[in-house]
Structure 1
Amino acid sequence: MKRKIGIVTIVILLIIFSFLAFKWIKHRIDYAVTDAVFVKADELSNVGFQKVSGRVIKLYKDLGDKVKKGEVIAELDPTDYALNVQNIKAKIESLEATKEQLKIQLARTSEELNINYSMSELSASEVEKKKQALQKQLAQVQAQLQLAKRDKDRYENLLQQGVIPRRTYEEADTRYKVLKEQEESLKKNLEEIAISHERSLKGINLSRIAFLKEKELQAQIVSIEKEIESLKRQEEIAENDLLNTKLIAPFDGIVAKRYVSVGDVVGPGSPIYALVKPNSMYVEVLLEESKLKGVQKGCIAYVRLDAYPDKIFEGVVEEISPASAATFALVPRDVSAGEFTKVVQRIPVKIRITKGDVSLMRVGMGGEVEIKRVK
């Protein structure tokens, strides 16, 4: 009886073992299973002050903290950058004041030059007209003087001959002397007019020379405007540098690492934080080449992470690398001599999680995956 019970027990155990073995073999045939699993992220970025350097005075986040896009997460000492902005603004204000003074001076100079030039031209024109009038009068007087001289000389001969009375001669002589005095007076007036005309011409020339001063003032204003424009560009750069002393989060994420402490001096581009975007998490599987059969894009995958062995994350195969992981090794194997130990190569497979609490995942976690093969 005992022998029969033992035989029955052995048979039952064999049946159970065979069933479990069949299930295990079928599972291994239907699924590609591996524990070469690593959690990664498409968006894992080192962020830092890109254009400025200085001493870190504030760090608002630490490892594991959540950040919001546009949030200030760190600050550098802004003193030097603020002083630079103030100095540039002061230079611009000073140059603006100088430019306004030059504009006022230019306006006054232009007005004076126009008035002086107009007056000089008017004076020269009037003097020229007076000169022409006096020249005509002089010509008339000189013509009359010639006649008067001939009459005087003729009456003088007649007086000597006793033909005419002395009174007639004296009247001719007086007329000649009056015309002579008029001639002398007109000549003096013409000399004075010539001096006035020369003076007016000099005034015109001086006005023309003064116009050069006006051009110099205009050139100074243009030069100052160019300098102000250059300083405004510098001001824009300086203000951007001042704004860049505050580190802004580029996207919503979680702090994966903090590289510096308050008081550290950092340069442009030095990493301050490593930020990871939670919804960019994925699972990378280094699948043995011998298990690649039947694994295609779109295959369902089940992931168990070592940190949460009781939770199953469901996903789909998103990408399968066209090259093995060893292809990109820093020191690739040298097989040119034909001496090497055969090693099973692993192909990177990217799995995007579609079901499960992705917020539990952390970059670098390991686990196990089962990928359902396509038959």
Structure 2
Amino acid sequence: MKQQNLHTRTDKLITIITSWIAGAVLLILLVWGGITLWNLKTYEETNDAQVQEYINPITARVGGYISAIRYEENQQVKKGDTLLIIDNREYALQQQEAEAALDNAEAQEKVLTSNIHTAEQTAAAVQEQISSAKARLWKQQQEYDRYKKLFDAESATRQQLENVETALQVARSDYQAALINYQASLSKTNDTKVQETVLQTEIKRRAAVLNRNKLDVGYTVITAPYNCQMGRRTIQTGQQIQPGQTLAYIVDQDAGKWVIANFKETQLRHMHVGDIAEISADAFPDQTFEGKIESLSPATGSSFSLLPPDNSTGNFVKIVQRIPVRIKLTDNTLALAALRTGMNANVAIRKK
């Protein structure tokens, strides 16, 4: 009888404990269910989200051998810091050659300028000769007219008239020669001026070549375009690189960070640009970050894929599509700096 009462008391105790445990579990389930229903009613949530930053390649604009590397893998660098140096001796020689060619062209321009000045002076001298020849021609014409009258009056011999006529023809030839020499001097002056114009164009071309060579020399020193963190290092000193070759990847820290959250198409009706978002990263589950919707993608993610779906082929299975939503992280906390590109995140946006 005592043993039966003991079993009865034990059963009652077990029943009470089980009831309390079941009640506690039921209460927890009710609370969890209530919170879940409240969140479903109040927020649009997704765990298909990743942290993003601008990741840009550093490329070489000239080819050559790497003479020095000034950064380490994953190093923080500032804008203007030297990342690597390419051997520039060949480009420096090309620059010196271009400088010499430009100096030679400028010296030729000075010579042409002097030739133009000389030709102008020669033309002026020939013009003076025209005046002198014209005066002699006039004098000989007067002399001939006088002797012609004398000859007609039989006061001068034919020989005298012929001598005066010959002198007149010589004066006329001298005058015509002076005119021709003057025109030739003007043509030579114009030709020299045309050569000077051509040479000035050549000087501009050689100056452009020199500036291009200076750019090439400057391109042999590669610097950081902004405050950033370097990625993995894959190059070594002495390695030959080609123009356009990617040398490293950098993460832009000046442009800020954002989250790309892929929401279902059925969730977008409650979202607008400027809405506040609550973000938590899987790496920091206890830390909540604040963000703001910057934009909604104009198309689904699958539409931007390499092979977009074509439902007109007949193999149609309706699948809920996702729309990328860009959310700018607006927190200035120190924990934000610990977020890395590609980290998974959870996003919740309050319905309106």
TM over 0.5: yes
Compute the displacement of 1:360 (Å): 0.3
RMSD across aligned positions (CA): 3.4
Moved more, 107-116 or 274-283: 274-283
Give the SS at the match of 1:303.
strand
Taking a change above 3 Å as real, the CA distance of residues 15 and 300 of structure 1, as seen in their structure-2 partners, is farther
Q: Is the 8 A contact 1:36 1:287 kept in 2?
A: yes
Query: What's the counterpart of residue 359 of structure 1?
Result: 337
2:295, 2:187 → 1: CA distance? 77
Give the SS at the match of 1:280.
coil
Give the SS at the match of 2:166.
helix
Compute the displacement of 1:288 (Å): 6.3
Residue 103 of structure 2 is aligned to residue 93 of structure 1: yes
Compute the displacement of 1:303 (Å): 0.6
* Superposed CA offset, 1:145-170 (max 9, x none): 3xxxxxxxxxxxxxxxxxxxxxxxxx
Q: Is the 8 A contact 1:30 1:373 kept in 2?
A: no
Q: Is the 8 A contact 2:49 2:347 kept in 1?
A: no
Taking a change above 3 Å as real, the CA distance of residues 286 and 142 of structure 1, as seen in their structure-2 partners, is closer
Give the SS at the match of 1:119.
helix
Gaps of 5+ in 2: 1-8
2:47, 2:37 → 1: CA distance? 17
Q: Is the 8 A contact 2:105 2:199 kept in 1?
A: yes
Moved more, 120-129 or 98-107: 120-129
Query: What's the counterpart of residue 50 of structure 2?
Result: 38
Query: What's the counterpart of residue 15 of structure 2?
Result: 7
Query: What's the counterpart of residue 283 of structure 1?
Result: 259
Moved more, 346-355 or 4-13: 346-355
Give the SS at the match of 2:231.
strand
Residue 23 of structure 2 is aligned to residue 47 of structure 1: no
Residue 221 of structure 2 is aligned to residue 246 of structure 1: yes
Gaps of 5+ in 1: 146-178
Q: Is the 8 A contact 1:135 1:190 kept in 2?
A: no
Compute the displacement of 1:94 (Å): 0.7
Compute the displacement of 1:281 (Å): 1.8
Query: What's the counterpart of residue 159 of structure 1?
Result: none
Compute the displacement of 1:361 (Å): 1.0
Select which of 259, 262, 265 maps to 2:237.
262
Q: Is the 8 A contact 1:128 1:197 kept in 2?
A: no
Residue 285 of structure 2 is aligned to residue 273 of structure 1: no
Compute the displacement of 1:230 (Å): 2.0
2:327, 2:177 → 1: CA distance? 95
Q: Within 5 Å, which residues of 2 pair with 1:59-70?
A: 59-70=69-80
* Superposed CA offset, 1:156-194 (max 9, x none): xxxxxxxxxxxxxxxxxxxxxxx65xx745653453454
1:8, 1:79 → 2: CA distance? 91
1:202, 1:319 → 2: CA distance? 86
Give the SS at the match of 2:213.
helix
TM-score (norm. length: structure 2): 0.78
Taking a change above 3 Å as real, the CA distance of residues 293 and 105 of structure 1, as seen in their structure-2 partners, is closer
2:62, 2:340 → 1: CA distance? 31
Query: What's the counterpart of residue 132 of structure 2?
Result: 122
Compute the displacement of 1:18 (Å): 1.6
Give the letter for the 1:234 counterpart: V
Query: What's the counterpart of residue 135 of structure 1?
Result: 145
Give the SS at the match of 1:46.
strand
Q: Is the 8 A contact 2:277 2:349 kept in 1?
A: yes
Taking a change above 3 Å as real, the CA distance of residues 235 and 322 of structure 1, as seen in their structure-2 partners, is closer
Percent identity of the aligned residues? 19
Taking a change above 3 Å as real, the CA distance of residues 79 and 48 of structure 1, as seen in their structure-2 partners, is same
Residue 282 of structure 2 is aligned to residue 305 of structure 1: yes
Select which of 174, 186, 191 maps to 1:211.
186
2:171, 2:163 → 1: CA distance? 12
Query: What's the counterpart of residue 201 of structure 1?
Result: 176
Compute the displacement of 1:226 (Å): 1.6
Select which of 22, 36, 40 maps to 1:28.
36
Query: What's the counterpart of residue 208 of structure 2?
Result: 233
Taking a change above 3 Å as real, the CA distance of residues 119 and 24 of structure 1, as seen in their structure-2 partners, is same
Compute the displacement of 1:106 (Å): 2.1
Q: Is the 8 A contact 1:315 1:351 kept in 2?
A: yes
Compute the displacement of 1:282 (Å): 2.3
Query: What's the counterpart of residue 374 of structure 1?
Result: 351
Q: Is the 8 A contact 2:293 2:326 kept in 1?
A: yes
* Superposed CA offset, 1:100-133 (max 9, x none): 1122122122212321331243133224224413
Q: Is the 8 A contact 1:259 1:271 kept in 2?
A: no
1:372, 1:185 → 2: CA distance? 124
1:265, 1:89 → 2: CA distance? 27
Compute the displacement of 1:30 (Å): 3.4
Give the SS at the match of 2:153.
helix
